[in-house]
Amino acid sequence: MPRPRNAQLRLVLAITGVVVLLDQVTKLLATQLLAGHERVEILGGLIQFDFYRNFAGPNNLFGGHTVFISLFAIVAVVVLLVVATRITTTVAAVAVGLLLGGAIGNLLDRLLREPAPLEGGVVDWLRFTDATKSMNLADLAIDAAIAVVLVAAVLTWWRDRHLREGDASAQ
């Protein structure tokens, strides 16, 4: 019977693998189908497909510092891999798997795309209305990880609060 930690690590790695695979396939499609073409809008412009190479960090932070961003991403991936070996809950495994998959997906662009290793631009291809920044599936996975952590924190707080109230009323 596998130890729970092994099961959680397998879950992290499975989620990571799916995120990286889907991210890279959609970036390949975006490069082939959207590069050099006009923006494609669906649902009245709610969803937009538009090819963009992002050489800055999230929200265009650290523009011109692509090597720094790449090195930070490498450190983040290493830290997440270490964390993944210590996870004991399914919620943490899901969150870390999403974060790791998103980080690796964007790091691959920085390492393997032009103009040079550590200087590559991340392929963004998705926008939700004109008000949002361009993104990709790796970015969505990172956002989903944050949502998982927030929902888990709120549910834990809610459960603990009701347990304390139950203990107080029993006395």
- State how far the Cα of 83 lies from the Cα of 145, in Å rounded to an integer: 14
Task: Examine the residue annotation and report whether 167 is marked as an active-site residue of this protein.
Answer: no
Catalytic residue among 23, 109, 130, 139: 139
Please, what sign has the CA dihedral across residues 35, 67, 116, 141?
A: negative
- The bridge status of strand 40-42 relative to strand 122-128 is unpaired
Residues contacting residue 64 through CB under 8 Å, at least 6 positions apart: 55, 56
Length of the chain in residues, anyone? Answer: 171
Beta-bridged to residue 126, according to DSSP, are 49, 135
Answer yes or no: are the C-beta atoms of 104 and 115 closer than 8 Å: no
Task: Examine the residue annotation and report whether 124 is marked as an active-site residue of this protein.
Answer: yes
Catalytic residue among 124, 143, 160, 167: 124
Virtual CA dihedral for 59, 65, 67, 72, nearest 10 degrees? -50
Would you please indicate which residues are annotated as catalytic (active-site) residues? 124, 139
